[in-house]
């Protein structure tokens, strides 16, 4: 039985979902092409944002380790944008 001070049922799952979403590589863009923060970032508290950041670092390192050129998805996206500007 929960008490009024207990977190709502499912809050751990929701927090994990938000952290996973915020740590992912996908970022939307506004109409001008500017990269946007993931909306989940704003729903996390400071500790959750720190955890998402640390998880993102680990994920990008794993991506780079698996890539033949040692690049993460973020690095590939940045390079693609740079190359497209020069074209």
**Helix %, strand %, coil % of the chain (to 5):** 60, 0, 35
Q: Is residue 50 part of a domain?
A: yes
41-65 pLDDT, tens digit per residue, is: 999 999 999 999 999 999 999 999 9
Find, among 37, 32, 4, 36, the residue nearest to 18 by Cα. Answer: 37
What do you get for the CA distance between the two ends of the chain, in Å?
A: 63
Q: Is residue 5 part of a domain?
A: no
Is the full-model pTM beyond 0.75? no
Q: Is residue 6 part of a domain?
A: no
- In angstroms, rounded to a whole number, what is the distance separating the alpha carbons of residues 64 and 55? 14
Q: Is residue 47 part of a domain?
A: yes
Q: Is residue 78 part of a domain?
A: yes
Q: Is residue 28 part of a domain?
A: yes
pLDDT-flagged residues of the chain (< 50):
1-9
Q: Is residue 45 part of a domain?
A: yes
Q: Is residue 25 part of a domain?
A: yes
Host domain of residue 75 = 11-86
Q: What is the reported pLDDT for 87? A: 57
35 forms bridges with which residues in the sheet?
A: 29
Count of domains in the chain?
Answer: 1
């Amino acid at each position: 039985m929960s008490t009024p001070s207990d977190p709502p049922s499912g809050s751990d799952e929701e927090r994990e979902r938000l952290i996973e979403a915020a740590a992912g590589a996908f970022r939307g863009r506004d109409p001008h092409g500017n990269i946007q923060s993931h909306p989940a970032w704003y729903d996390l508290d400071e500790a959750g944002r720190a955890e998402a950041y640390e998880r993102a670092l680990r994920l990008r390192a794993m991506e780079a380790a698996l890539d033949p050129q040692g690049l993460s998805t973020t690095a590939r996206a940045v390079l693609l944008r740079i190359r497209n500007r020069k074209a």
